[in-house]
Structure 1
Amino acid sequence: MNCENLSYPLINRLRQTNPVVLTVANSVTIDKVADGLSAIGASPIMSKEPAEAAAMVKLANAITINLGTITEAQLKQIRAVLNANTNRLPVVLDPVAVGSVPYRLKIAHQLLMDYHFTVIRGNAGEIAALAGVKWQAHGIDAGQGHSDLADIAQQCARQYHSLVVLSGPTDFVTNGQDVFTNPLGDRYLALNVGSGDMLSSTLAAYLALGEAPLPTCSLACQAFAFAGVQAAKNVRGLGQWQSRFFDELCQLTSTSVRKRAVERMNENND
């Protein structure tokens, strides 16, 4: 699958539609996620109270579940949200650091057994842990391993019958068979704590548009990475990049992302 199969008009349509994304959030990155959703044209909503889960789900067009600062209380909230999702809104799972923390891996496995997730989005260490592939994760970071990343993503997708987005310097998006590879990226996306969390909720926003998950998530990854690359031009450091990144997310258009994607594809074919 390549960029010719992607529906770039969805970038503009997202702003016109303004879908509501409910995120059970990582408290470390909650502000970045909310601002990132607003920047791309979505409407963020967040909650910590299980008693309002049904009302929140009723308001939402898509859901993100983030395990970044998981507690027993938040797990209760997560289950309340997923139980309330009777209309089957698209749900993205972000299994933060499951490759490093056995408790989180146990929770992720249990949630994946009890509920169906439209998408699982994680770095190489997280996706490898879920797939049962040997890998040396490093805290919340991807860590190191010697396996084929596309194959790891495919294994995970087949195991849980979900679309998998393995994000990193190169993103791999797969349904277990077809694979989209996104080579756009920048080192600041890895340095910035919260890039993955923001991407997970971005995926949910795009899924809310109701199109096929594989090309939709592939486009979301490409647009997100494009903003990161644009923000990195002539910056002095991470702080300046972060500010510019939000600016670039605000300015994403179907035309600009498609143009850069085609240019990069042509570069790779030369």
Structure 2
Amino acid sequence: MGKIIAIANQKGGVGKTTTSVNLAASLGVLEKKVLLIDADPQANATSGLGIDVESVELGTYQLLEHSVKAEEAIMKTESPNLDIIPAHIDLVAIEIELVDQDQREYMLKSAIGHLRDMYDYILIDCAPSLGLLTLNALTAADSVIIPIQCEYFALEGLGKLLNTIKSVQKIHNNKLDIEGLLLTMYDARLRLSNQVVEEVQKHFDEMVFKTIIQRNVRLSEAPSYGESIINYDAASKGATNYLSLAHEIIKKNS
């Protein structure tokens, strides 16, 4: 049975998509069968894996509408053992379209539940908001990874997200667990970076991943080539960090 992990934070620019793409690619390289679902209308995870967003005909939008079977929306990627359900800008409209639907928070869950038998890990890259799309992802998921950037406003909004997770646990998905808090964009030279790490570790202790994702130029270059960091520069610090995170998750779930 595969595990479904949402990667969520309503704050933009915290390394959510970078984590989704590179963790998925790292798990694939470690011989796990992985599906990445792009649930962000910006479709950065889709283009970050080399798929032309304009050419996407079947993806997360059709999946949430239940107009196609999940299998029909799955695309292979260049990355070993990694498939994707891509996104397109039309995903923006889904929140409005779902508002009047019965069971609107469960659309994704009912569409992908059976895929657990095909994959070891299903990762969902969430939109940077706490709207219906993210709610669908949290309702469908077994656990959630929360990326936190090592910057001044790091903890701002985290309380709001944790409250959302609590209410999802209470109302829609009592099995939802926090997989871990992931510190991203760490720069060892900055005092502020180190302070954020200390503060997060002090407050959240066991919930924080041991792996910390460091600031890395190669990591920010990779998406413009439509490649994961593993394909783009396997020897880079970014690749080492994400492989370490993948090992940590595999160990935790074995």
TM-score bucket of the superposed structures, by smaller chain: 0.3 to 0.5
TM superposition score normalised by structure 1: 0.39
Q: Judging by fraction of residues, say which structure has more helix.
A: 1
